[in-house]
Amino acid sequence: MYSLLNRINTRLHLFMTVPAALLYGIFFIYPLIQGIGISMTDSNGVTEPNFIGLQNFIEFFNDDRAKGALMNTIYFAVGSAPLLNIFGLAYALFLDQNIRGRTFIRTIVYMPAVISPLIMGYIWYFIMQPQRGFLYHVLESMHLGFLNGNWLADSSTALNVIIMVNVWQFVGMTMIIYLAGLQGIPGELYEASKIDGAGYLARLRYVTIPMLYPAIKINVVTNIIGSLAVFEIIMAMTEGGPGYATESMSIFIMRMMYGSFTGYSTAVALIMFVVIVIPVFIFLRATKSKEMEM
């Protein structure tokens, strides 16, 4: 009787996975296979495509603009993802303390994350306008006018400014996940470490950080994916300029698609998919081995 119930239960569980598997196949596997097929053609979205094999992929690595978009995307991710986690964790550690007004501060820090990156980008674009932006007048009133400049029109500073705006906007989302992890750590662990004579830094290293591994994994993975797929905030603030100095892979793909290079843009999208998957896979493998050691 028990064996029969167990078989029924197993089949029921398999049956309940069917809707999720269908959705995954329809919205991920099928488009991926379709995309691989299109990437091997000279499709322009209008005329009948011809098979050209790996030519689009070869062209990508010979295209200076495409490689520039790839380097901009990697630079943005390397700058944005670590800062989001460092400041997000710092905010969480600070706001996990029993301080007055912490709920209000949490709300203020998190609030920008609920606004569309496109809208936030436009807000900061107008704030940072030279001669007429809010920041210009603030610096002038503080007699710091020498700090003013057209940062978004300077290829050496534009991407760094966008990174700072992105971190400012989404640090609250990272903070919330770390706060949830901190509140799940048993207080007994801290009490035991205090009895053993551990100071704050020792408790942070040997208790807090190890217990936050699930939250760290979530934040790092989502920040890597979000940073490598950046689109809206760059379009709002610089549209990829000056020149192509801040053009990301997402923007490059869109422009190639609307430029009737459908096959080529699809090939670049697949390359972007690989660029996102590789660091996520490496990080998950590294953290998995770390958790097994614990």
Q: Which tokens go with 253? A: 């793909």
Give the chain's residues under pLDDT 70: 1-6, 8, 289-294
pTM score, whole prediction? 0.89
CATH of domain 64-293: 1.10.3720.10
For the stretch 185-217, pLDDT in tens is 888 888 888 888 888 888 888 889 989 999 999
Q: What DSSP designation does 222 have?
A: H
CA distance 111 to 213: 25
For the chain, the domains span 64-293
Separation CA 58–CA 32 (nearest Å):
20
| Distance between CA atoms of residues 85 and 212, nearest Å | 12
Tell me the per-residue pLDDT of 169-186, one tens digit each, with 9 for 90 and over.
999 999 999 999 999 888
Q: In the chain, at which residue ranges do the beta strands (DSSP E only) sit?
A: none
pLDDT in tens, 215-232: 999 999 999 999 999 999
Residues 75 and 247 sit within 8 Å (Cβ to Cβ): no
